[in-house]
Amino acid sequence: MDVLDLARLQFAATGSLHFLFVVLTLGLAPLVALLNTRWVLTGSPLHEGMTRFWGQIYVVNYALGIVTGLVMEFQFGLSWAGLSHYAGDVFGAPLAMETLVAFFLESTFLGLWIFGWGRLPKKLHLACIWLVTLTAYASAFYIMVANSFLQKPVGAVQVGDRLQLTDFGALLTNSTLVASFPHVIGAAIFTGGMVMVGASAYQLRRRTEEKVFFTKSMRTGVVTAAIGIFVAVVAGYAQFVGLQEGKFKEGSMGGMPLAIMLLAGDLLMLLVLFVMLPLVYFLPRWRWTHPLLIGLTPVPFLVSTLGWLARELGRQPWMVWKKLSVADAMTPGLTPGMVTVSLVGFVGVLGLLAVVDYLLIARLVRRGPSNLSLGTAVEEPALSY
| pLDDT tens sequence across 194-233 | 999 999 999 999 877 889 999 999 999 999 999 998 898 8
Rg (CA), the chain: 22
Q: Is 380 inside any structural domain?
A: no
Q: How far apart are CA 322 and CA 315, in angstroms?
A: 9
What sign does the CA torsion over 351, 357, 359, 365 have? negative
Domains in the chain, number: 1
Residue 103 has pLDDT above 80, yes or no: no
Buried b (16+ CB within 10 A) or exposed e, 118-139: eeeeeeebbbbbbbbbbbbbbb
pLDDT for the residue 382: 38
pLDDT for the residue 370: 84
Segment among 37-41, 252-256, 265-269, 367-371 with least mean pLDDT:
252-256
Q: Is 375 inside any structural domain?
A: no
**What is the rounded average pLDDT for all residues in the chain?**
88
Q: Is 381 inside any structural domain?
A: no
Buried b (16+ CB within 10 A) or exposed e, 46-83: bbbbbbbbbbbbbbbbbebbbebbebbeebbebbbbbb
pLDDT for the residue 269: 75
pLDDT for the residue 384: 39
Beta-bridge partner residues of 365: none
Stronger pLDDT, 246 or 18, i.e. the higher one: 18
Stronger pLDDT, 100 or 146, i.e. the higher one: 146
Q: Is 240 inside any structural domain?
A: yes
- For β-strands 252-253 and 324-325, DSSP reports them as unpaired
Q: Is 300 inside any structural domain?
A: yes
Among 49, 29, 139, 149, which residue's Cα sits nearest to residue 91? 149
Q: How confident is the model at residue 151 (pLDDT cuts 50, 70, 90)?
A: very high
pLDDT for the residue 71: 81
Runs of H (alpha helix) within 152-210: 168-172, 175-205
Phi-psi region of 118 (alpha: psi -120 to 50; beta: other; left: phi over 0): left
Domain that holds residue 344: 3-367
pLDDT for the residue 252: 47
Q: How confident is the model at residue 1 (pLDDT cuts 50, 70, 90)?
A: confident
Phi and psi at residue 318, to the nearest 5°: -100, 140
